[in-house]
């Protein structure tokens, strides 16, 4: 996959988008290489000398209160949410190394609408406890999604969008090519396998 020109192009495009936007939608069908795209860019940052920090969260595994946090009805105590806790931890760190929060799950009106103030120029998450957490310049949000079916125009206009298509089948071809290359088969058998994949799998 790493030798595929289309894949390399998507990694470069993601890097360019993240220079001008602090929120990016990485969109495409399952298995098209969405995760590998930001993972590769993160590894490139690390190799260039930056200490990359990445936190991967699936917003669909918890409800909205568990995601953002909630004030306990009886005790009036604040209970931190998964996202608010992660965002605060990153914001408190004094260094300016890249810090990414990956929101790996389809968009849902229940949680994405509350993200609008984070995604716009205010870069501010206001919690029910009246605490305000600022998204700093070196902090980025990457939304790994299949489509924009449940996103409003207000949400879409606040983020950069990188669409990764798998119409050409380049992703599965890249996996096959890598598997054959590093297998212990003879050169003749490798050639035969590659021809069979090209002829029948597509």
Whether the pLDDT of residue 175 is over 90: the answer is: no
User: Domains in the chain, start-ordered, CATH in brackets?
Assistant: 5-167 (3.40.50.300), 168-202 (no CATH)
Whether the pLDDT of residue 138 is over 80: the answer is: yes
> Confidence class of residue 79 from pLDDT cuts 50, 70 and 90?
very high
Average pLDDT over residues 49-69: 91
Residue 169: predicted pLDDT: 66
Within 8 A by CB and 6+ apart from 162, the residues are 10, 13, 14, 17, 24, 25, 26, 27, 37
Angle of helix 170-181 versus helix 187-196 axis, rounded to 10: 160
Tens-place pLDDT, residues 19-42: 999 999 999 988 888 999 999 999
Q: Are 103 and 142 in contact (CB under 8 A)?
A: yes
Q: If you search the block for the tokens 């604040």, which residue do you land on? A: 78
Residue 119: predicted pLDDT: 92
| Average pLDDT along the chain | 89
Rounded to two decimals, what is the model's pTM? Answer: 0.83
Q: Let me know if 171 is exposed, middle or buried by CB neighbors in 10 A (0-12, 13-18, 19+).
A: buried
Tokens of 72: 């306990």
> Confidence class of residue 9 from pLDDT cuts 50, 70 and 90?
very high
What span, in angstroms and rounded, lies between the C-alpha atoms of 35 and 187?
A: 32
């Amino acid at each position: 996959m790493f030798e595929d020109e289309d894949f390399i192009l998507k990694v470069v495009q993601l890097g360019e988008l993240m220079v001008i936007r602090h929120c990016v939608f990485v969109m495409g069908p399952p298995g098209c290489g969405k995760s590998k795209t930001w993972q590769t860019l993160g590894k490139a940052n690390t190799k260039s000398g930056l200490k990359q920090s990445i936190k991967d969260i699936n917003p669909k595994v918890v409800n909205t209160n568990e995601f953002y946090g909630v004030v306990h009805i009886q005790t009036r105590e604040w209970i931190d949410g998964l996202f608010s806790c992660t965002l605060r931890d990153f914001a408190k760190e004094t260094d300016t190394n890249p810090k990414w929060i990956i929101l790996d799950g389809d968009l849902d009106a229940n949680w994405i609408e509350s993200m609008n103030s984070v995604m716009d120029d205010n870069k501010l998450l206001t919690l029910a406890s009246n605490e305000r957490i600022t998204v700093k310049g070196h902090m980025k949000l990457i939304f790994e999604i299949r489509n924009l079916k449940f996103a409003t125009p207000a949400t879409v206009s606040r983020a950069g969008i990188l669409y990764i298509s798998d119409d050409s089948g380049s992703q599965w071809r890249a996996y096959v090519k890598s598997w054959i290359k590093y297998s212990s088969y003879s050169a003749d058998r490798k050639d035969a396998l590659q021809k069979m994949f090209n002829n029948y799998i597509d």
